[in-house]
A and B are shown apart, each in its own frame.
Chain A
Amino acid sequence: MNPSFDLAALDRRARELRARIIETSCRSGTPHLGSCLSCVDILVALYFHILRHDPAEPTAPGRDRFILSKGHAVPALFQVLAEAGFFPPALLADYGRIGSPFGEHPPAPGKIPGIEAATGSLGHGLPIGVGMALAARLSGRQSRVFVLLGDGECNEGSVWEAALLAAGQALGNLTVVVDYNKWQGTGRSNEIMALAPLAEKWRAFGWAAEEIDGHDLGAVCTALARREAADGAPPRAIIAHTVKGKGVSFMEDDNNWHYRIPTEAEVAEAKRELGVAA
């Protein structure tokens, strides 16, 4: 964990990353901006405050693992990984071009440093994370496993299969963060299925759950750091209330930005709102 806890610096990073994500979407035609912007603060807290990892040694056995189970938000993760030093940011210039590993979903591990699992079909990341947490226990490592789920993703039955096993195995080294932006592909996540009350569902499945404001970087860092890997304790679920498209007024809570690509004028306007130089 990074000892410094400079909220202003984290916030500055989050703004700059939002601007790069939006620029890259415009340049490469990559969608899912709304889903990316809702989880930027969670990713920033993880990669610049919580995760014990060494970008120069991305497969070191003792590292903490992070799985982006909502794989369609990988444009955000790619920017974060570049910023964290896993690969040169210049590589992202080829985003979306033929032969580039940078596409709309995370590729199989080994192609991009820092990508732990191929996700994109929803409901796969948590089962894999449970396997990783079991592996850490078996090998006596202190590695922690963090899995970021979308709220829409919680429609998938495999999420709850994994939740039951993780609680049954008392995987205290496993933390789920749900990016609860209240939208899924074509509608409100609380209307399409009976998702609410979400924290209570996780508790009923045997997890320790808490609800936070997923854009309050201090709250996100505090919640993520609340407990070190404690084997035998219940796994933890952090229900992060977020806003889809967070940070840009004309994208916030507008589900059209699940698929829309911004124009250059919209990129400029977004950067102005974010306070990032053009």
Chain B
Amino acid sequence: MRNLFAKTVTALAGADERVVLLSGDIGNRLFDDFKAKFPTRFFNCGIAEANMIGVAAGLAMNGYRPFAYTIAPFTTTRCLEQIKLDLCYQHLPVVIAGTGAGLSYAELGPTHHTFEDLAILRPLPHMTLFCPCDPVELRLGLAASLTLSGPLYLRLGKKGEPALHPTPPAFRFGRAETLREGADLALLATGPIAAEALRAADLLAAQGITARVASVHTVKPLDLDYLGTTFATTPLVVTVEEHSRIGGLGSAVAEWLAGAEPRPATRFLSIGIEDRFLHQVPSQEEARRVEGLTGEAIAAAITRRLG
């Protein structure tokens, strides 16, 4: 999706001269087209992410719409205070784009794994957390981002993610989108891992279990109406995320559930990354296997839960 990110931002910049692109010295050649078309609106801010966020704030305060792009851990964990104070407190429309989130860069080790980003950004007021599951949502979300008045974190995978929406949905931040209907359980997935949730639904269907699958592309603000309906009509709800089980989508749903009146009797299962560092995983696929995040592992966990 990073190629589509570059292509879409370039198109947005052509239509809106407020769009500026900041990169933390990453994306070799990725932004060549943007740079060729809009040379004065591209800033390589160097390997200095804290500064890049502050610079984006200064540009946004003067009417520009900055997209600040680098690898997810460096544009989130590394510069959390700049995000909190420069962007959230001052309520500025900056898109923080984190590429290679989750286990996308599994082989690069814990320095490049990002499964705490949603947990640290979720408590920040004014923040929108957007995790598109596929290129369709990414394209729609990028266009919609220009209508926001505050900051948005865009959680990107790597490349080659398949389209999961057969037709473009009526996109809005904060609205979950059903990818597939089913009655026995609901899988609420966020980000490209939704492809594995769909695969799990396929495997469960072969056992006669039908699963609804939804893309919860916006982890903040959560689609509370969708949660309410889903918990009221489904006996089991399962969250699936390529993020720590602490602090991400599963936690957000559990927080809502803890305060829901009346308390649904629905069973709830949170599937995500365990509380540990992952060493020596040669690929994203292997890392997902280790963490039980493949379609097969998700289906097996659900079968076990259903007894």
Contact = CB atoms under 8 A, between A and B. Distances in A.
Given A130-B54, A130-B58, A161-B50, A135 B90 contact: no
Interface string B40-67: 1101011010111111111111111010
Contact of A132 (B52, B61, B66, B91): B61
Nearest to A135: B62
Contact of B85 (A118, A164, A169): A118
A134 B55 contact: yes
Contacts of B66: 131
| Chain B, interface residues (CB within 8 Å), range | 20 to 34
Interface stretch (A49-57, A121-129, A175-183): A121-129
Contacts of B59: 131-132, 134-135, 138
Contacts of A161: 46, 48, 50-51
B222 to A, nearest CB: 25
Contacts of A164: 46, 48
Given A109-B90, A158-B51, A121 B58 contact: no
B81 interface: yes
Given A138-B20, A138-B41, A138-B64, A129 B58 contact: yes
A108 B41 contact: no
B75 to A, nearest CB: 14
Interface string B233-255: 00000000000000000000000
Contacts of B85: 118, 120-121, 124
Interface in A83-132: 108-109, 116-118, 120-121, 123-124, 126-132
Contacts of A127: 50-55, 57-58, 82, 86
A108 B40 contact: no
Given A127-B86, A168-B46, A117 B53 contact: no
Contacts of A117: 57-58, 61, 90
A136 interface: yes
Given A121-B85, A127-B57, A138-B20, A165 B51 contact: yes
Secondary structure of the A side of the interface?
A: helix
Contact of B89 (A108, A131, A162): A108
Nearest to B57: A128
A109 B86 CA distance: 11
B192 to A, nearest CB: 31
B24 to A, nearest CB: 11
Nearest to B17: A138
Contacts of A118: 85, 89-90
A4 interface: no
Interface in A20-42: none
A61 B64 CA distance: 12
A158 B50 contact: yes
B82 to A, nearest CB: 7
Interface of A: 61, 108-109, 116-118, 120-121, 123-124, 126-136, 138-139, 157-158, 161-162, 164-165, 168-169
Q: Which 9 A-B pairs have the closest CB atoms?
A: A131-B58, A127-B54, A135-B62, A161-B51, A161-B48, A131-B55, A132-B58, A128-B58, A131-B59
